[in-house]
């Protein structure tokens, strides 16, 4: 399944964060890496020690489960590489409905979630519910990645399942053979001081990765205490609505979901009374959508209506479920087979798979609040609420059920890109406010009222400083008689063999834990814990031959610009070099570390080749900073907007900034000699392509009244001198040198800020 841009952005951020962790002492690495990557303070959870506790914020409908599935591979490869893709993942969900859905998808080998895990972990995957996990075998954990799916509540002391998790279980005895009590103080003991044969102790022993779906549910002392009891090595929460102590590494906006055609937007709202008129209006809209859906070529859409009753129990003062069912069948003549009921007591709703089939007749679903979580059908277009919209519970989660756009593809008819809510109320403004509140409760923070409903906040911002035809030159290459943008692959790599005749001397070291190369868990009764809280377990692995190791590396180590033959030849030379100092069994046991070492070497070689090529092109005067350039349009699109306005910003609003950057921006805004300044947004603004693969997007662009340009990169003091920062300064200075006297580049931090501002004020 092709990832959306924002989904890939989340995974890239997680990968970068984990790589940053590796640069610091384990006791503080989780916090320092977070502050560097997010520009926010890190909230330590004392119950979790120094283990990373990270939150990913994705609105409802953004594919949190898909992202979480990809995240497992990233954590096990980049953070837990020594486990060779074996061990334990505890996957917690907020409700039984979501537990069933997640479990079924992860167990189904045809489902893309499971297919993804099978591909990443070489089909060595086992998935358990909590009852199955109580009989988990030692071999299961030693030879596979085991995923246990459970609700959070099952591990709380007030739940009857808790006793089964924490009590002695003779079938788990094999996990604890040979363990010495004195080396396992973190395991539960019985009254005689002996290790309990409990599932909770098995989990503790394996120091799991913990994934929490709707992670805001863990923000209680009881839940943190429960997590502490599971002895995690890494906690990764996914939620639409983070709580205050969540360490939000990345925040995905509703705009990004809309841009990727994931959600229906705008949502139109109509208020009607009495309740019978509300339903009639909803049916009229549903029939209209149905006619339009039938005209869509090559795509099957059957619009469905959700009807939200006030309660299930019969009550003459309330609009209850059976009253709505009777109204549909008797008053509006809806065939009974088109109606399903989903409540706590009655469930005639087919599975999502069945509901999506052409033969399924269902067009109306009556509920109260049973569809608030764990139900997701893109065909749901219309929500009719005859319950009191002022009651928070009635709307906050149900709105999320009509958000997904079928097949995540924009439709030619705009009506099929929108959703519709019909409410029984006389006050449209109140209804609109409750809908916005409900959407915000689903993570859609950037929602505002629009004509007839609600939508994402305006994305387009106009240029407000009069300056025609502003253009900044890219780094270009001379191609015949023309200049075009420098291309990393075609111009700096081309058809040359990157790895041919390059050194295959790999810098590979494994920390000596005084453990044998291949051991059973608990062999000799000793496990060591590093200061980051990870247990140094070595799981069973297949005895690799040299060919097995090479085949594994060919799959894991790839570059699109290096041919299979060239890469295979290099990998063979690299393995031959490693075998001079290491046994094959050691390389096999630590193959993820081998992969990381080879990846690092290939990156170093590539960077050296592209730098030399860049310098060669410069010396031949084929690299210019003239010709094709970045043109500042009359409008810009911003996904994340700084809340305050400025007097000299080129456009109506500026892109988001952290505190240090905004303080600097206010100083720029106050300079008398400035024509304008611009907060340059990443991925859509002005960029400099250098000898590294990724383009460099400087933070600020300034133009003085004399026509001089300053391109500025602001770095916090903790990043000054970092390798990435050194590259940005080098390529920025080279761009300015090539562009000419009117262009300057400056790397700005707290130490030289006043000096840079003074220089700009005199230009």
Nearest to 88 by CA among 133, 135, 26, 152: 133
**Percent of the chain surpassing pLDDT 70:** 91
For residue 88, is pLDDT > 70? yes
Last residue of a domain, one of 455, 486, 521: 455
Q: Following DSSP, what letter does each residue of 488-533 receive, concatenated?
A: IIIIIITTS-SSTT------------S--SS--TTGGG---B-TTS
Q: What is the pLDDT of residues 541-573, one digit of tens each?
A: 566 899 999 998 998 899 989 999 999 999 999
SS3 for 543?
coil
Q: Provide the edge-to-edge strand list for the sheet that holds 380-385.
A: 339-342, 364-367, 304-308, 380-385, 419-424, 267-272, 453-456, 447-450
pLDDT at 281: 95
In a domain, 468, yes or no: no
Q: Could you tell me where the DSSP H helices lie in 108-236? A: 112-120, 130-133, 138-143, 160-166, 199-205, 221-229
Higher pLDDT among residues 598 and 193, named by residue: 598
Under the banding of pLDDT at 50, 70 and 90, the label for residue 214 is confident
pLDDT at 541: 59
Last residue of a domain, one of 252, 287, 311: 252
Q: What is the pLDDT of residues 215-237, one digit of tens each?
A: 666 666 667 778 888 999 999 99
Number of separate domains in the chain: 4
Higher pLDDT among residues 453 and 716, named by residue: 453
Under the banding of pLDDT at 50, 70 and 90, the label for residue 526 is very low
| Co-location of 248 and 270 in the same domain | no
| Co-location of 659 and 524 in the same domain | no
Nearest to 179 by CA among 133, 138, 226, 132: 138
SS3 for 457?
coil
In a domain, 140, yes or no: yes
Q: What is the pLDDT of residues 111-137, one digit of tens each?
A: 999 999 999 998 999 999 999 999 999
| Co-location of 118 and 244 in the same domain | yes
pLDDT at 373: 60
Task: Quote the domain boundaries for residue 552.
Answer: 476-623
**Percent of the chain surpassing pLDDT 90:** 58
In a domain, 469, yes or no: no
| Co-location of 410 and 427 in the same domain | yes
Q: What is the DSSP letter of 106?
A: H
Q: What is the pLDDT of residues 435-475, one digit of tens each?
A: 888 888 788 887 888 888 888 876 789 999 999 889 999 99
pLDDT at 45: 85
pTM of the model: 0.82
Q: What is the pLDDT of residues 177-189, one digit of tens each?
A: 877 666 677 888 8
In a domain, 611, yes or no: yes
Q: 355 φ, ψ to 5°?
A: -65, -25
In a domain, 465, yes or no: no
What is the SS3 assignment for 290-344?
HHHHHCCCCCCCCCEEEEECCECCCCCCCCEHHHHHHHHHHHCCCCHHHEEEECC
| Co-location of 236 and 280 in the same domain | no
For residue 476, is pLDDT > 90? yes
| Co-location of 619 and 632 in the same domain | no
Last residue of a domain, one of 604, 623, 642: 623
Q: What is the pLDDT of residues 622-673, one digit of tens each?
A: 999 998 999 999 999 887 788 899 999 999 999 989 888 999 999 999 999 9
| Co-location of 612 and 681 in the same domain | no
In a domain, 76, yes or no: yes
For β-strands 635-637 and 460-462, DSSP reports them as antiparallel
Higher pLDDT among residues 241 and 709, named by residue: 709
| Co-location of 76 and 44 in the same domain | yes
Whichever domain contains 701, its CATH number is 3.40.1350.10
| Co-location of 731 and 741 in the same domain | yes
pLDDT at 521: 42
| Co-location of 28 and 114 in the same domain | yes
pLDDT at 195: 87
Q: What is the pLDDT of residues 365-407, one digit of tens each?
A: 999 876 756 677 899 999 998 875 544 435 555 788 898 999 9
Q: Which residues contact 289 (CB under 8 A, 6 or more apart)?
A: 303, 381, 382, 415, 416, 420
Higher pLDDT among residues 333 and 315, named by residue: 333
In a domain, 463, yes or no: no
Q: What is the pLDDT of residues 505-522, one digit of tens each?
A: 999 987 543 333 333 344
* Mean pLDDT taken over the chain: 87
Under the banding of pLDDT at 50, 70 and 90, the label for residue 530 is low
Whichever domain contains 161, its CATH number is 3.40.50
SS3 for 710?
strand
| Co-location of 179 and 65 in the same domain | yes
Q: What is the pLDDT of residues 573-608, one digit of tens each?
A: 999 999 999 999 889 888 888 999 999 999 999 999
| Co-location of 342 and 266 in the same domain | yes
pLDDT at 26: 86
């Amino acid at each position: 399944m092709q990832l959306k841009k924002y989904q890939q952005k989340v995974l890239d951020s997680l990968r970068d964060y984990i790589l940053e962790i590796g640069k610091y002492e384990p006791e503080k690495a989780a916090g320092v890496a977070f502050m560097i990557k997010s520009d926010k303070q890190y909230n330590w959870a004392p119950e979790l020690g120094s283990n990373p506790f990270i939150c990913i914020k994705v609105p409802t409908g953004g594919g949190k489960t898909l992202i979480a599935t990809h995240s497992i591979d990233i954590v096990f490869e980049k953070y837990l590489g020594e486990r060779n893709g074996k061990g334990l993942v505890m996957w917690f969900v907020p409700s039984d409905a979501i537990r069933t859905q997640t479990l079924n998808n992860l167990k189904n080998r045809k489902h893309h979630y499971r297919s993804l895990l099978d591909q990443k972990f070489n089909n060595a995957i086992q998935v358990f519910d909590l009852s199955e996990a109580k009989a988990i075998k030692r071999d299961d954990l030693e030879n596979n990645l085991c995923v246990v799916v459970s609700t959070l509540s099952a591990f709380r002391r007030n739940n009857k399942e808790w006793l089964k998790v924490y009590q002695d279980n003779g079938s788990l005895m094999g996990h604890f053979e040979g363990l010495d009590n004195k080396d396992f103080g973190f395991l539960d003991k019985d009254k005689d001081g002996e290790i309990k044969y409990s599932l909770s102790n098995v989990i503790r022993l394996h120091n799991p990765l913990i994934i929490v779906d709707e992670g805001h549910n863990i923000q209680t002392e009881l839940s943190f205490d429960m997590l502490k009891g599971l002895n995690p090595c890494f906690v990764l929460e996914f939620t639409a609505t983070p709580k205050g102590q969540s360490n939000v590494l990345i925040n995905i906006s509703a705009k990004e979901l809309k841009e990727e055609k994931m959600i229906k937007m705008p949502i139109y709202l109509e208020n009607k009374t009495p309740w019978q008129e509300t339903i009639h209006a909803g049916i009229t809209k549903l029939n209209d959508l149905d006619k339009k859906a039938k005209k869509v070529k090559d795509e099957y859409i059957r619009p469905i209506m959700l009807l939200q009753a006030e309660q299930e129990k019969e009550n003459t003062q309330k609009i209850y479920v059976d009253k709505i069912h009777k109204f549909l069948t008797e008053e509006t003549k809806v065939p009974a087979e088109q109606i399903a009921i989903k409540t706590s007591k009655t469930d005639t709703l087919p599975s999502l798979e069945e509901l999506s089939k052409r033969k399924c007749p269902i067009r109306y679903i009556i509920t109260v609040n049973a569809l608030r979580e764990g139900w997701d059908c893109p065909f749901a277009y219309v929500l009719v609420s005859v319950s009191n919209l002022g009651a928070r519970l009635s709307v906050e989660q149900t709105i999320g059920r009509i958000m997904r756009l079928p097949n995540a593809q924009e439709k030619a008819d705009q009506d099929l890109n929108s959703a519709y809510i019909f409410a029984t109320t006389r006050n449209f403004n109140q209804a609109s406010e409750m809908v916005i509140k409900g959407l915000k409760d689903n993570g859609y923070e950037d929602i505002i009222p629009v004509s007839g409903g609600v939508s994402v906040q305006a994305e387009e911002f106009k240029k407000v400083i009069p300056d025609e035809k502003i253009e900044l030159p890219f780094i270009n290459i001379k191609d015949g008689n023309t200049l075009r943008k420098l291309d990393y692959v075609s111009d700096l790599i081309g058809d040359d063999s990157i790895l041919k005749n390059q050194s295959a001397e790999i810098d590979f070291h494994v920390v000596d834990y005084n453990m044998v190369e291949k051991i059973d868990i608990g062999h000799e009764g000793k496990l060591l814990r590093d200061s980051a809280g990870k247990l140094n377990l070595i799981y069973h692995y297949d005895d690799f031959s040299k060919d097995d190791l090479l085949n594994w590396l060919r799959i894991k180590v790839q570059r699109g610009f290096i041919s299979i033959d060239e890469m295979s030849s290099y990998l063979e030379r690299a393995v031959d070099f490693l075998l001079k100092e290491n046994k094959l069994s050691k390389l096999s046991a630590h193959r993820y570390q081998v992969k990381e070492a080879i990846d690092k070497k290939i990156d170093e070689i590539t960077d050296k080749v592209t730098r030399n090529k860049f310098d060669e092109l410069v010396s031949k005067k084929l690299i210019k900073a003239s010709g094709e350039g970045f043109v500042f349009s009359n409008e810009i699109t911003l996904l994340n907007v700084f809340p305050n306005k400025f007097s000299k910003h080129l456009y109506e609003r500026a892109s988001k900034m952290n505190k240090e950057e905004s303080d600097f921006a206010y100083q720029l805004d106050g300079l008398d000699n400035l024509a304008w300044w611009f907060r340059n947004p990443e991925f859509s603004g002005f960029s400099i392509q250098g000898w590294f693969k990724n383009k460099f997007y400087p933070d600020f662009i300034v133009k003085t009244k004399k026509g001089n340009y300053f391109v500025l990169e602001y770095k916090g003091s903790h990043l000054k001198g970092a390798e990435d920062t050194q590259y940005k300064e080098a390529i920025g200075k080279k761009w300015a040198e090539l562009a000419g006297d009117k262009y300057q580049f400056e790397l700005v931090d707290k130490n030289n800020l006043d000096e840079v501002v003074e220089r700009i004020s005199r230009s």
